[in-house]
Structure 1
Amino acid sequence: MTSITSLDHQFDKNHLWHPYTSMTNPLPCYGVKSADKCVLTLDSGEQLIDGMSSWWACLFGYNVEELNTAAKDQLDKMAHVMFGGLTHQPAIDLGKKLVEITPDNLEKVFLSDSGSVAVEVSLKMALQYWHAKGTPKSQFVTIRNGYHGDTFGAMSVTDPEGAMHELYHRFLPKQLFAPQPTIKFDEVWDESDLDEMTKIIEANHTNIAAIILEPIVQGAGGMYFYHPEYLKGVRLLCDKYDLLLIADEIATGFGRTGKLFACEFAGITPDIMCIGKAITGGYMSLAATLTTTHIAQTISDGKAGVFMHGPTFMGNPLACAVANANIDKLISFDWQKNVLNIEKQLIEFLAPCKTLTTVKSVRVLGAIGVVELNNAVEVAKVQKQFVDLGVWIRPFGKLVYIMPPYVIEEAQLKQLCDAIFQVAKNQS
């Protein structure tokens, strides 16, 4: 098929810089004319079942009636107003919802405009907290193969070795990296998995502001699922050495793993939590960083007297209104039953991939299905193969994965998994 048939493909190719691609030899782009539920309709007329939820954000797919209505109603009132010195009902309602559904003690909500900014805010909160206490600390600890975003603070706590941010490494603050947990989600736990993290903390705790990690699921860094006891152990280490714990739930929040937030697998509450992506159901960019009353008061009582951050589109009313509708729909919807059904179906439908010599492993958690190949894929070639099979799946490196909308039909999910099998079978 031809990419972007009736759109101005040449202008797109020459002038629009798409994510993680070259401007001299860009990856092909397929023009989308419309989207509804779990189906993308291309400009060419072809229809693709969406396995990506638009980078994990569209919980209920596309053209969702409740979210459409919320956006239209809010547009009649105001699309945006500055959050400095002003407030509005959509932000207040969203704050109430987030405090209610997130782990206990996360009572203060800082609204921002993207996941990466939410991470930046979390790092600045930790730094300013210790500064306000009169004991400034400058380093963060995280685990290898993590990913926290593309802005500078977020890049500094993203594994620099062999990763997408490697070329920036010498320009970034130097952080501390513990090995990736070796014990997987469904394996027998062994306390020794925490040994290296413990050594790093023992040697450096006087200058560590916080530990930041993705709870249970490492997303863009490798789609790896580690044991909940590791997260529980990190929480205990933070308590023992008086460190803050930052949970980056941007990819895992709002039910994707089978829990509303992945921290629930370990039964822990972080000191700071970052959420984003699915918060608006994929309609627009919004994120939040939540923290405890103690941290917020300590920062506010410090030398600056305020928290030093304020995005222009902070608390955007339009985004907040859609987020409220999305959360209401999620809570009223039997999301956990649907996600667990998707999990069972993924386990069944991806099982044939385990028989392929080209496949290293298959793993499933909640509404996340991952097939790890032995070799990296050629993205443009594989992308076309998926499109020809009537599905939208965007692989990276050796990973072919899907995170479908929670409303996907069983036949649609099977088509996605069958396509993965077909493509994986033909890899060398």
Structure 2
Amino acid sequence: GQDHKRRFAALDNSYHGETLGALSVCGSPQWREPFGPLLHGALYLPAPAYGDHEHADLDPCGPRPELGADSPEADRAVALLEEHHDELSALIVEPLIQCAGRMTMPGVGYYRRLAAACRRLDIHLIADEIAVGFGRTGRLIASSWAGLAPDLLCLSKGLSGGVLPLAATLIRAGFEDDFHGPPSHSFAHSHTFTGNPITCAAALASLEVFAREQTFAALPERIAKMSALRRALAERHPQIVESRQAGMVAALTVDRSHGPDDGRLSLALREAALARGVLLRPLLDTIYWMPALNIDDAALERMAAVTGEIIDEVLPR
């Protein structure tokens, strides 16, 4: 009912997709700039990036739940929300991990502070959990680590186990009125393949597998194993300048000063891994692990060993 609040806010370095609406809230210029004249102008908020820490150990919010709350970036982000709140309809964030943004991790405390500001300033909060939802961070919903309670929650990849394309948007109570109002005011959310029965059947089967195999219950042990491998790798390889992890996502940033330039560095690392039978997709100078949630120890160890080998091959000491 506040027609003047039509602008969106997003985080620097964020990625939300490649349709025009999604691109309008992508904080990374490399995705946004080619389509600039076609996009709506969003407000971009600064976000910190931290390495050598974990958000999702066995402790519900990791060893440092306050991380990012008192950062200069959080101060500036809140100030921008306060300055522009009269025009802002919503803030969209990727909880815990900016995946396409080199797997940066702004810190649980940072997200908590933004969520509190949104509640205080009457700005809706949208959690884009396309990549981080369904156990990827160690919990079903990544937002729960920071207690975000978003107004809208976007899910996809883990929903169908990656077998068929499917996405869902969860809305808090009260939003459903917008789907059933007068035709001139209602939210006409219709797509050609909405409610595809085969895709929905695949998603139901995937959820059954989660329950039957107790996937989430086994995650703490796998997260700890991956963390140990990551830390050991960082200790053995001086080329690794930053190491970070949130749940079943780990990232290793390498010193690129003695290797190929950005584009060729990621390609060289990827090809070296493929030659060893491991599929990795480095993001510029960052090698990341985002394995299947049911990966076994042997596969994790193989992935870590190959990562060390390709670092030494492409970036010799």
Q: TM-score range by the shorter chain?
A: 0.7 to 0.9
Matched, 1:137 2:5: yes
Q: 1:383 to 1:227 in 2, by over 3 A?
A: closer
How many Å apart are 1:357 and its aligned residue? 2.9
Cα distance between partner residues in 2 of 1:269 and 1:367? 22
For the pair shown, the structure with the greater C-alpha radius of gyration is 1
SS at match of 1:414: helix
Question: 2:252 matched to which residue of 1?
Answer: 371
How many Å apart are 1:298 and its aligned residue? 4.1
Question: 1:273 matched to which residue of 2?
Answer: 153
SS at match of 1:421: helix
Matched, 1:158 2:19: no
Structure 2: gaps spanning 5 or more residues: 56-62, 257-261
Question: 2:303 matched to which residue of 1?
Answer: 416
How many Å apart are 1:316 and its aligned residue? 0.3
Total equivalences in the alignment: 295
Question: 2:200 matched to which residue of 1?
Answer: 320
How many Å apart are 1:423 and its aligned residue? 0.9
Q: 1:327 to 1:378 in 2, by over 3 A?
A: same
Matched, 1:172 2:39: yes
Question: 2:167 matched to which residue of 1?
Answer: 287
Cα distance between partner residues in 2 of 1:319 and 1:179? 37
Extract structure 1 runs of 4+ deviating beyond 6 A: none
Of residues 202, 206, 211, the one that matches 1:331 is: 211
Deviations 1:368-413 (A, max 9, x none): 1211112235344323211221211122211111211122221111
Cα distance between partner residues in 2 of 1:190 and 1:349? 26
Deviates more, 1:282-291 or 1:343-352: 343-352
Cα distance between partner residues in 2 of 1:191 and 1:349? 29
Cα distance between partner residues in 2 of 1:159 and 1:252? 18
Question: 1:97 matched to which residue of 2?
Answer: none
Matched, 1:394 2:272: no
Identity rate, percent: 28
Deviations 1:345-369 (A, max 9, x none): 2122222234323212111222112
How many Å apart are 1:333 and its aligned residue? 2.5
Question: 1:381 matched to which residue of 2?
Answer: 268
Structure 1: gaps spanning 5 or more residues: 1-132
Matched, 1:210 2:90: yes
Residue type of the alignment partner of 1:164: W
Q: 1:156 to 1:190 in 2, by over 3 A?
A: closer
Cα distance between partner residues in 2 of 1:381 and 1:363? 22
**Relative contact order (alpha carbons < 8 A, sep ≥ 6): 1 or 2 greater?**
1
Residue type of the alignment partner of 2:291: P
CA contact (8 A) 2:130 2:155 kept: yes
- TM-score for both structures, normalised by structure 1: 0.65
Of residues 402, 406, 422, the one that matches 2:293 is: 406
Cα distance between partner residues in 2 of 1:311 and 1:303? 17
Matched, 1:192 2:60: no
Deviations 1:140-194 (A, max 9, x none): 1111111101111111111143x33332234311111111135664545364332
Cα distance between partner residues in 1 of 2:271 and 2:95? 33
Q: 1:192 to 1:303 in 2, by over 3 A?
A: farther
Cα distance between partner residues in 2 of 1:189 and 1:409? 31
